[in-house]
Chain A
Amino acid sequence: MTTPQHVPITASPFHGNVRPLLNEVLHALDKLLETREATTIDLASLPFGPGELEHLEALLGTGELSAKLDALGSSSIRETAYPGVWWLEHRNAFDEIVGRYLEITHTPEILSSQDADIIAGRAHLEEQFE
């Protein structure tokens, strides 16, 4: 595990969104440990001031695992320096960001292979025998 960047929360020069958000993350982690229930936070729904999102990202840092997904444009799924806290970014075909989320979970759902795709894939594999 890499050491998270120690950017002091209180030193945030911005508009007061970071601190309460991190507090929410803290509670989500507790919930995850206690009830194994995952939480998703839509970062687009928060009124970030200029530079605030970047600040948050720097603060959370980069963890051990990151993945790239290519479906309807690329997506990056990255564990932050805080295990269980994932940073997700969805991009469209023009490589523009269309969604930004924090997922507090063991594994983001989107990383798992989906039954529907498995079924389709299996069928495709079966076709190879013919």
Chain B
Amino acid sequence: MDLLEFAKGPALQVAAYILVAGSIWRLVGILLLKEKPDFSEPRQSGGLLAALKVIYTRSFTASPFKRATLYPKMMAYVMHLGLFAVVFLFVPHIMFFEGFLGFEWPGLPNSVIFFLGVAAVVSGIALLVRRITNPVLRLISNFDDYFSWFVTLFPIVTGLLISVRMGFRYETLLAIHILSVALLMIWLPFGKLGHTFLVFVTRGTTGMVFERRGAKT
């Protein structure tokens, strides 16, 4: 079995198991802890709708914080949108998803994907530089932050390398690319990349707690 077959087969397979098992493990591990009931009389209705509201509204910055957080927010937006487009709108990737989902959706031309991928990498680097140079970030950062950064950027970089065909042969690069994705999938549930799913839980929790108070969310 060559590297590509290993990557496409067992590596991806095991990574998928770990991704699914790890993510559910973490979610269940949190959700099955004791619950604290809130007996206070609500000011307004909360519940799931409130959770959904905050899941949506926290995607945007409240105006008082706009100026202070503009730079990192912009970078984070570019990175997330770029990552989203690269993962879900690149046609070969859509075919990958179609392989097990059974349906497809329209993609973007490769040149646009390439541009977005580069933008994601550039903003990722900008965010890393900020993490290293900003005293606050340097203080609060740990291994997870740097490793998660690497694990996220690595697949984009290897993906971009395939299209510019730098140094290696296509199948080698493709194998490395898929392996880097497998690494991302394996790490995702355990570190801070868990925010992929935890963001719904944290924002939702805040929505449920504070919306019923009528407090600012």
A and B touch in the complex (CB under 8 A): no
